[in-house]
Structure 1
């Protein structure tokens, strides 16, 4: 069963859990987003199978995925949803789709196993993600704590200085109540 979200009235999109058939589209969206670490197509298929309940997909009127949020519940932190990736097709960027995906996913997880906080990592240069997560926190009356989770030195380096990875800042958003 797919649960519609209010954004669908504005954009004609339907937001619901991932389905196995979404795997190729999620890979395409991640690849085309620019700035995301793109995983193998196989991993997106597995994600749609094994983490469908903690993934939200926005589909157009043809059923094609045009945006997604992938996440998982942290085994060591009950009530913590870690958001892995967020991607929206270029033609839908700036329309509120990413925020609607995050809201829909948070509401679904809160109604099931429960949700206390959302966690995500954001590189310092990713202004769009910073704005999206801060906006989510404001909409839900939650605080945001930021701290370095993975410093640049934790990532494999290369001889090319342009290939260094920015640090990943952990955003912890909560407490949440639904």
Structure 2
């Protein structure tokens, strides 16, 4: 009987709130995750510092390998996810979904009934993540063109579709 070599288990990254010292590493991660729009390093620093309650960092062996930036939409029970970034070395681990779940478990999301994000038509990875997430949560996903190429981006950026995941009532109440 031949012994089969088992592939070593990859350790799941530690999920946590970002800190301002993470800003530069987050910026580098976003730059490496095409087709995400690059923001300034200062923008990522402010997100990590001012919006830590609605942002998630994934850390593996001291490196930032995942990032979600988000915020609560003023006056609504909606968390808006601005960006999801996963390093090449952490892909295939279900990290995107794990970070979304971590976000919804935060105290800041206690009253959240909906999760929203915008996605361009050609971003297959983001569509797959959010469709899969909606199914796994038992939520309803809808989308409509929201920020349009000509009307909002002066022709310089593809239309962004507003994707809304309405969370199931028990989850929304439990969150």
Match of 1:144 among 141, 144, 153: 141
Aligned to 1:106, the other structure's residue is in SS state helix
Structure 1 consecutive aligned stretches of length 4 or more whose deviation exceeds 2 Å: 9-12
- Using the size of structure 2 for normalisation, the TM-score is 0.86
1:115 corresponding residue in structure 2: 112
Deviation for aligned residue 1:95: 1.8
Q: After TM superposition, list the pairs within 5 Å mapping 1:1-178 onto structure 2.
A: 11-62=11-62, 64-77=63-76, 79-109=77-107, 113-153=110-150, 154-157=152-155, 164-176=156-168, 177=171, 178=174
Contact 1:80 1:119 in 2 (8 A): yes
Gaps of 5+ in 1: 1-8, 158-163
Deviation for aligned residue 1:135: 0.9
Deviation for aligned residue 1:109: 4.5
C-alpha RMSD of the superposition? 1.6
Gaps of 5+ in 2: 1-8
1:161 corresponding residue in structure 2: none
- Using the size of structure 1 for normalisation, the TM-score is 0.85
Aligned length: 161
